[in-house]
C-alpha cells in the first residue's frame, strides 16, 4: 500500500464516527477514571459485554444510559448494529465486565469490524489485571509475554505449556479459581519447579495478595486458599546459551590450527562460539605461542 492510499484523520478532528473502548475497574471502583466518566456522560449508547454488570457500574456513578448487548455469542451481529448507529451519528462506547475490552474479553471483533468500516477507535485507558499483576510481581517487566488463559483441557494445556517452556521473557497468565490447582501443577512439571512465580490475587480489592515462591512451591499450595481472581506471573527461562571453558577453547583452536592459519582459526572459533575475538586471541597467545 502506498502512502497516498492511506486515509488519515486525527481522532478528535473531522466528522468521521469514532468508537470509544473504555477500560473499567478490575476491583476498586476508584479505578474508574475521570476521562471514562466524561466520555460516558457524552455518549448515546453503552455497548457492553453484560448489560447488568455495566448497568450497575454506571449506576454507582449516577449515570443512566441506553445499552447494547455485545458479547462473545452475538458480537458479529451486534457489531453491525453498532456500526450502523455510529454511521448515523450516534456516539457509542464499548466496555467489557472488567479491565480492557478485547484482552481475554469480547470487543476484538467489534473493533476490527469498525476499523474495516472506516470508523475511528479511541481507547480510554484504565486498569489491566495483567499489567497490575506484572508490576507488583517484581519480576522482569522490560520484556514480558502476555499469554492470558491456557486451554481448559489438560492435554491442550500441557501442549501449550511445552511450547512456552523456552521463552526467555516473563510470562503472564490469567486463570480461573476452579482450574488454578491443576494449572500450577502442570506449570511446575513442564516449565520447571525451580522457576520463580507470583500469584497476584484479588488485585485492588480488599483481599489483595501477592504469593511469591517457586512454581514447585505454588503447586503445593492449599487450593482452598486460592480463591477469587488471579494472575500468574512466571519468571523468564534463563538464557540457554552455553558457557564454554578456556580448556574447551584451547581444544577447538588446536583442531582448527591443523588446517587453518592462526588468524582464521581465531576468527572462526570466536564466531562459532559467540566469544569476543580478543578473548580467543589471548588464549591462543598463552597456549600456542612460545
Residues that bind ligand SAM (CB under 6 A): 26-27, 96, 98-100, 103-105, 128-130, 174-176, 200-205, 229-231
CB of 128 to ligand SAM, least distance (A): 4
Write the DSSP string, 118-141. Answer: T-EEEEE----HHHHHHHHH-S--
Angstrom CA distances, 137 to 117, 200, 224, 232, stand at 40, 7, 22, 9
119 CB contacts (<8 Å, ≥6 apart)?
16, 17, 18, 19, 83, 86, 87
Name the closest residue to ligand SAM (Cβ): 99
Q: Considering only CA atoms, which of 156, 139, 239, 142 is closest in space to residue 199? A: 139
Q: Which is nearer to ligand SAM, 50 or 105 (CB)?
A: 105
Give least dist CB 232 to ligand SAM, A: 8
In the bound state with ligand SAM, the residue whose beta carbon lies nearer, of 17 and 127, is 127
How far apart CA 282 and CA 279 sit, in angstroms, is: 5
Residue whose CB is less far from ligand SAM, 150 or 252: 150
114 with 11: CB under 8 angstroms?
A: no
262 membership: H or E segment, kind and range: helix 262-273
Closest contact distance (angstroms) between CB of 31 and ligand SAM is 10
Residue with Cβ nearer ligand SAM (186 or 229):
229
Nearest-approach distance from CB 247 to ligand SAM, in angstroms? 49
Q: How far is the CB of 25 from ligand SAM (least distance, A)?
A: 9
User: Is 197 within 8 Å of 232 (Cβ atoms)?
Assistant: yes
Rank residues 17 and 106 by Cβ distance to ligand SAM and give the closer one.
106
Please name the helix (run of DSSP H) or strand (run of DSSP E) that holds residue 4, with its range, or none: none
Q: 3-state DSSP helix/strand/coil percent for the chain, to nearest 5?
A: 45, 20, 40
Q: Which is nearer to ligand SAM, 70 or 280 (CB)?
A: 70
Say if CB 12 and CB 59 are below 8 A apart: no
Q: Which helix (H) or strand (E) holds 169?
A: none
Local structure of 121: helix, strand or coil: strand
Minimum CB–partner distance for residue 13 and ligand SAM (Å): 29
Q: Which three cell numbers stand for residue 222?
A: 492449599
Closer by beta carbon to ligand SAM, 17 or else 107: 107
Least Cβ distance, residue 269 to ligand SAM (angstroms)? 49
Min separation Cβ 45 and ligand SAM, Å: 21
> In the numeric block, which cell numbers belong to residue 41?
456522560
| Smaller CB separation from ligand SAM, 232 or 266 | 232
Amino acid at each position: 500500500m502506498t502512502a497516498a492510499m492511506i486515509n488519515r484523520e486525527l481522532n478528535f478532528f473531522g466528522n468521521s464516527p469514532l468508537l470509544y473502548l473504555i477500560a473499567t475497574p478490575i476491583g476498586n471502583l476508584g479505578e474508574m477514571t475521570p476521562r471514562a466518566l466524561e466520555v460516558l456522560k457524552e455518549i448515546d449508547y453503552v455497548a457492553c459485554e453484560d448489560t447488568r454488570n455495566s448497568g450497575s457500574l454506571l449506576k454507582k456513578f449516577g449515570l443512566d444510559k441506553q445499552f447494547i448487548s455485545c458479547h462473545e455469542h452475538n458480537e458479529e451481529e451486534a457489531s453491525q448494529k453498532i456500526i450502523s448507529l455510529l454511521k448515523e451519528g450516534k456516539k457509542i462506547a464499548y466496555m467489557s465486565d472488567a479491565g480492557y475490552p478485547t484482552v481475554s474479553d469480547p470487543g476484538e471483533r467489534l473493533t476490527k469490524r469498525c476499523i474495516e468500516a472506516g470508523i475511528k477507535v479511541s481507547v480510554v485507558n484504565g486498569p489491566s489485571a495483567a499489567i497490575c499483576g506484572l508490576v507488583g510481581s517484581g519480576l522482569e517487566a522490560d520484556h514480558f509475554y502476555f499469554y492470558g488463559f491456557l486451554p481448559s483441557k489438560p492435554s491442550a494445556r500441557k501442549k501449550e505449556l511445552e511450547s512456552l517452556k523456552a521463552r526467555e521473557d516473563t510470562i503472564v497468565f490469567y486463570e480461573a479459581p476452579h482450574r488454578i490447582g491443576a494449572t500450577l501443577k502442570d506449570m511446575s512439571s513442564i516449565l520447571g519447579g525451580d522457576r520463580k512465580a507470583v500469584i497476584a490475587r484479588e488485585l485492588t480489592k480488599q483481599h489483595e495478595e501477592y504469593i511469591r515462591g517457586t512454581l514447585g512451591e505454588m503447586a503445593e499450595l492449599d487450593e482452598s486458599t486460592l480463591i477469587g481472581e488471579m494472575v500468574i506471573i512466571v519468571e523468564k527461562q534463563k538464557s540457554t546459551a552455553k558457557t564454554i571453558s578456556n580448556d574447551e577453547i584451547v581444544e577447538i583452536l588446536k583442531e582448527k590450527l591443523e588446517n587453518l592459519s592462526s588468524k582464521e582459526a581465531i576468527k572462526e572459533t570466536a564466531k562459532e562460539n559467540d566469544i569476543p575475538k580478543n578473548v580467543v586471541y589471548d588464549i591462543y597467545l598463552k597456549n600456542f605461542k612460545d
